[in-house]
Chains A and B, each alone.
Chain A
Amino acid sequence: MQTKVVLEDYEIPKQWYNIQADLPKPMSPPLHPGTGKPVTAEDLAPIFPMNLIEQEVSQQRWIDIPGEVLDKYLLWRPSPLYRARNFEKLLDAPVKIYYKNEGVSPAGSHKPNTAIAQAYYNKAFGIKRLSTETGAGQWGSALAMACQMFGLECRVFMVKVSYEQKPYRRLMMNTWGANCFASPSNLTEAGRQVLAEHPDSPGSLGIAISEAVEDAVSHENSRYALGSVLNHVLLHQTIIGLEAQKQFEKIGEYPDVVIGCAGGGSNFAGIALPFVCDEIHGKQLRILAAEPALCPTMTRGPFAYDFGDLAKKTPLLPMHTLGHDYVPAPIHAGGLRYHGMAPIVSHLLNLGLIEAQAYNQLDTFDAGVKWARTEGFIPAPETTHAIAAVVAEARRAKEEGKERTILFNWSGHGLVDLAAYDAYLNGRLDAYEFSDDEMKRALKAIEGLPKP
């Protein structure tokens, strides 16, 4: 009985997939906040090397993965495709459940897929040092590992309150050779200004980003690295879905449903985009983004023009939105809370190429705990949203009496998020749903704005 589908090293995909080439309708470009005009290569040049900027704007369908990047990927890739037989048994539904385990990377999540690539391209462009910010430390540790592998100096500005609370993430970065500084630090003008006014400042992500960017733009041969949101980050993550396609081919199967949790979009896009390509070219399947019920951007928010911000200062963007004045409640979904959805995911939803479902955090943790008690691995809180979607799909299959093959992205382990499990297991979490009154208010916020 096969539980893992593994690819040999030589079978690892040699190219990333760029969905920009296949979109039936192209996406609108990002606009510069100062000029209102599309962001240019010159705008990005102080912080990213030109080879990554070229990827950011590329319309080429397949982009070769450099041999040096593949060599590093091979330390944990191809990641195994697991069949979750124990979880299937628990659900007792006519479903086969497969998951791509991205928690097997040294840093414990999908983040190194782009950290390795970014470190390589910076090195190739002649960059000597990279700087970044980190909150919990997950992205910082992925980049620290990647920089060490390519001989780059790595400087991570970690929000001071996390730096003090999470010594193990900091030690991971140090072990991989990075310099991890508590932010605000006295290493940058931005940090010094904060410290002068607030010597006991606990820091913030805003301060840490300012320090990392200043560190990059004020030093020769330095650049900044970002682990989410941008096109080239999503591009690097497509190796997840491309491997999964090969693994399904190997066992002569193909999924009916592909699932990922959706926040900034990098792990959802990683598993989904290669399958969206299949869908565009005629395959019949459903691709499902799992989002928090408290922040049901795609499931309940209309596709409309809206501001990206409360102060209505950003350009109007066409997106699924809950209104720019939406303030989410404190759920344990990390980055899955924002009034709008990432442009590429909104675009795919609007084109009808993907679907979305929302789940409340009690259901997601219930699914996560059941998963841990059957399959063993403890999922990150974000990952539990994808598992809750699997549970719902299995229930539907049972009701309809139809067999389904489900694939989802197990984006990372939750071993640094056990405090969230503590809160759940001790009854300190609420369900939180987005109410009809909140929906009315959200729609009022976009009344009078143009319709796409």
Chain B
Amino acid sequence: MERKDEKTSDYKTLIIRCPRLGGEVPFAYCEKEGGDLPCRMVVGCWEGIFLVENHLRETLSEEAWIRLNSQPPKDKLTNILDIVEKAKKRIK
């Protein structure tokens, strides 16, 4: 697939099928999926469509870029046990 050469503002409305949600989402969703960070799969999902890595390096701080690339995609059980601990602390 030939990569598109849109201006940065145009990327936000591009649509792709999210493999995690099973439905279509705009790039704007992927950019915000992790709260203050993009989805950890954002580069893999979009690199065939536009120069997403360049875009993210331009728009994210260096610290955010490093955090994005060190997010651990844990297996489900590990993730859930971790969330249980966090939930217990939150509701204390």
Chain A residues at the B interface, C-beta cutoff of 8 Å: 30, 32-34, 39, 43-44, 46-47, 135-136, 138, 159, 161-162, 165-166, 189-190, 194, 197-198, 201-202, 204-207, 209-210, 213-214, 217-218, 224, 226, 228-230, 264, 308-311, 313-314, 327-335, 337-338, 340, 416-417, 419-420, 423, 430
Q: Is the interface of B mostly helix, strand, loop or mixed?
A: mixed
Residues of B within 8 A of A417 (CB): 22
Q: Which residues of A contact B44 (CB under 8 A)?
A: 327-330
Neighbour of A33 across the interface among B17, B19, B74, CB < 8 A: B74
- Among B18, B23, B43, B82, contact of A327 (Cβ-Cβ < 8 Å): B43
Chain A residues, CB < 8 A from B90: 189-190, 214
| Contacting pair A330 B22 (CB below 8 A) | no
Judge whether A205 and B80 touch: CB under 8 Å. Answer: no
Shortest beta-carbon distance from A346 to chain B in Å: 12
Closest to A343 in B: B75
Report how far A264 CA is from B75 CA in the complex, Å: 10
A-B CB contact pairs (8 Å), 9 listed: A39-B77, A135-B21, A189-B90, A204-B39, A217-B88, A309-B73, A310-B73, A311-B71, A314-B74
Choose, from B3-11, B28-36, B55-63, the stretch at the interface.
B28-36
CB distance from A427 to the nearest CB of B (A): 10
Q: How many residues of B contact A (CB 8 A)?
A: 49
Q: Does B16 contact A (CB under 8 A)?
A: yes
Chain A residues lying within 8 Å of B85, measured Cβ to Cβ, are 34
Tell me the complex Cα distance, A331–B20, Å. Answer: 11
Residues in B neighbouring A337, C-beta threshold 8 A: 19
Q: B22 touching A136 by the CB < 8 A rule? A: yes
Residue of A nearest to B85 (CB): A34
Q: Please, how many angstroms separate the alpha-carbon atoms of A95 and B82 in the complex?
A: 48
Cβ contacts under 8 Å, A205 to chain B: 20-21
Known A201-B35, A202-B29; contact A161-B46, beta-carbon cutoff 8 A: no
- The reply on B78 being an interface residue by CB < 8 A is yes
- Chain B nearest CB from A380 CB (Å) reads 9
| A310 to B23 CA separation, bound complex (whole angstroms) | 25
CA distance A450 to B17 in the complex (A): 37
